[in-house]
Each structure stands twice: as C-alpha cells, then as structure tokens.
Structure 1
Amino acid sequence: MKVMRLRKIWAEGTFAVLKREHKLNKIQNRDLQKATEECLLSAKALNLKRLVKAV
C-alpha cells in the first residue's frame, strides 16, 4: 500500500509535469515511433532539469 502511495506521488507527478510543461497531451495526433521519440526526449529534458537543480 505504501508503495502505491509513493508511486502516485512520484510517477503521477512526473506525468503531470510532462503533460503540462512539455505539451505531451497533444501527442495523440502522431504515429507511434514519433510519439515514443518525443516522450523519451521529454523525459530526458525533465531529468536534465532536475539534475541541474540538484547540483
């Protein structure tokens, strides 16, 4: 139960940030390969932002 609560905090918050700041809510109009690439690039950008903030 505790793991699910932590997942809700960590994962769902990350998804919300990606949808809000990286416009991933508009991804449904793309084919699967382009959508996958965009998701991966957005995740990398978010991780880099968090790394810079941590350092």
Structure 2
Amino acid sequence: MRLRKIWAEGTFAVLKRGHKLNKIQKRGLQKAIEECLLSATALNLKRLVKAV
C-alpha cells in the first residue's frame, strides 16, 4: 500500500491535473476507456522524452 501511494496515486494526480481527467469528456464505456488509455500513453511519452 505504501508503494501504491508513491507510484500509482501520484500518476493519477498528474493525469487528473495535467490531462483534465477529472471528468471524462467522451460518452460510453469504450470511449471513456480509450480516453484514459490515450492520456496514459501521452504521460508515458512525456516521461520518455524527458528521460532521453
């Protein structure tokens, strides 16, 4: 649980704040999942660029 706080919760906060995931913009379960996956992909790409 301690590691989850450090790794997962911080990532969720970044996604909410930086990618405006407080409220899902798309309607329907499939489109909402797609929006979350695209936001997570964008975050990972940003982190990859920053590391390189």
Task: For residue 36 of structure 2, give the secondary structure of its aligned residue in structure 1.
Answer: helix
| More helix by percentage | 1
Q: Structure 1 residues 51 and 26 mapped into 2: Cα distance closer, same or farther (>3 Å)?
A: same
Q: Structure 1 residues 48 and 29 mapped into 2: Cα distance closer, same or farther (>3 Å)?
A: closer
TM-score (norm 1): 0.85
Q: Which runs of 5+ in 2 are unaligned?
A: none
TM-score (norm 2): 0.90
Q: State the 1:30 CA deviation.
A: 2.5
Q: State the 1:34 CA deviation.
A: 1.0
What is the number of equivalent residue pairs in this alignment?
52
- The superposition leaves residues 13-33 of structure 1 with CA deviations (integer Å, 9 ceiling, x where unpaired) of 000000001111111762211
Q: CA RMSD in A?
A: 1.4
Q: Structure 1 residues 45 and 28 mapped into 2: Cα distance closer, same or farther (>3 Å)?
A: closer
Kept in 1: contact 2:26–2:35 (CA 8 A):
no
Counting aligned pairs with the same residue, the percent is: 90
